Amino acid sequence: MTCEGYKTRLTWGSSDTASSAGGGIVLKPVRPPRQKSKSLRDSRTRPVAESVDEEVVNLPDFSSIPSPDDLDLLCLQFEAFSEGLPDEEVSQRLMDSFTTIGWQTITGRAGHDTMFKSDILPLCQDSICLKHACLAYQASLDIDTSHMTPLYMQSALSNYLNDLENPSMLCQDVTLATGVLLCSINSLYIWSPLLKGLHGVLQARDLLNDPQRPPVANHLLEAVGLLDIPFFTLNRITPSLEIWKSYVQPHKHSGIEQISGIPYSLMNLLANMDSTTIEQDLLQWPGELGDEFAQIHLWEAFRLAGILHSRCLADHDQDQTTSSRVNISTEILRMKVFASIQAIIGIGTFNFRLSLARAILYPLFVAGILAENAQEQQLTRVAFQYIMQKGQEGIEQIIMDIVAKVWKNGKGGSEASKLMIATEATAELNAEIHLY
């Protein structure tokens, strides 16, 4: 694949240097050299533990390319797919599904219509780039259409890189929206280098430090900030730009964030999961008023999963004798997470709130990799089955396979070692997987 428009003005430079008013985005390579890893493969039909030695789709071996640029790496992932785009009838059918149901899997968790539906979806009418990003996302949701995802991704990414070079496009919300959606397509590929371009667009528009940001631009900045929180991504290969900490957290302390459906006050804590006081901070979180019980259960699942996750991270760096852990066992925390997830399922939330079904993925994954007995592992499998309803399994089946690999290879190991097994399994797929 040739990413047109990427060959001239998209240059590397200091991350602290905002783009000039008449120029394209200036980026900086942030990815350290990677170890040799295996080609991307489709493991939807078999567990990761049993398929890591079988290649189904042969993509370039990134480690064999001398110092590839981050965005070059994004392009290389789609070189193997040379088919033309699906016909208009197929595209229209996917678009109809996205505008009615698909968009709800990435936003709307706060319990009401969001700016994505009212302000961003209409932009597809005049932007082939955003439209193809939407089609790629919708195709990724169903195993029967997932083979079309890289075809639409190829077109969307090429057009998006052209837009980054076009000064007139940098000031338009559609460019931000396209970049956000390209990062949100939870398929097996590397996506975090795109955050650098999004950060550059925000800089070019002087949105980062503007207290009077237009509502849609503010919504998109928060979306970029959420994607940039590193703890929600398996095998994140680029360092966090700390967009949430720097530009959202200082100004948002109450209310519910639209995309994640999580209160700002809780998300601010989760964005600092590597803090030495995070367990106490999460335990002392006072909560927030919600519109329905399912929201309360979801927030509780995230809060407790955050404590479990912080223990996985702390295990890497400090001895348990110096840890700031509180006196609550990991087993109790796990069961509380499962109880919250089971409550959401029991309420019947999935029958009318598809967005909440996807929302439980993060706490389910964290509790799942730490599950130590047959009962907890069965609870994990059942919850994943609810997410993968009607055969639209997408990435969730792969995540379940990764969890099963942790059960097989991490039995008796520390919390940190189990998270590491999951991370390494994702790295073997040449992928970054976000979990919210």
Note the pTM of the prediction, 2 decimals.
Answer: 0.80
What residue has token string 């430090």?
Answer: 209
Q: How confident is the model at residue 72 (pLDDT cuts 50, 70, 90)?
A: low
Please give the residue that has the higher pLDDT: either 427 or 63. 427
pLDDT in tens, 24-60: 443 333 333 344 434 333 444 344 444 433 333 333 3
* CB neighbourhood size of 341 (10 A): 25
- The separation between CA 335 and the C-alpha centre of its own chain, rounded to angstroms, equals 25
CA triple 109-256-186, angle to 5 deg: 40
Tell me, what's the pLDDT at 339?
96
pLDDT in tens, 340-360: 999 988 876 555 455 566 789
Q: How confident is the model at residue 364 (pLDDT cuts 50, 70, 90)?
A: very high
How far apart CA 200 and CA 170 sit, in angstroms, is 9
Burial 98-108 (b: 16+ CB within 10 A, else e): beeebbbbbbb
DSSP string, 77-114: TTTT--PPPPPHHHHHHHHHHHHHTGGGGTS-TTSS--
DSSP string, 230-255: GGGEET--S----HIIIIITTT--SS
Mean pLDDT calculated for residue range 400-428:
96
Long-range CB pairs of 390-397 (<8 Å, 24+ gap) are 391/142, 391/143, 391/144, 392/141, 392/142, 392/143, 393/44, 393/143, 394/140, 394/141, 394/142, 394/143, 394/146, 394/186, 395/140, 395/186, 395/187, 395/188, 395/433, 396/361, 397/44, 397/143
Percent of the chain with pLDDT over 90: 47
Mean pLDDT calculated for residue range 120-140:
90
Tell me, what's the pLDDT at 212?
86
Tell me, what's the pLDDT at 100?
84
Tell me, what's the pLDDT at 107?
67
- SS3 (DSSP) at 260: coil
pLDDT in tens, 316-343: 555 444 455 667 899 999 999 999 999 9
Tell me, what's the pLDDT at 348?
67
How far apart CA 188 and CA 193 sit, in angstroms, is 14
Please say if the pLDDT value at position 108 is more than 60: no
Mean pLDDT calculated for residue range 410-415:
93
Tell me, what's the pLDDT at 304?
98
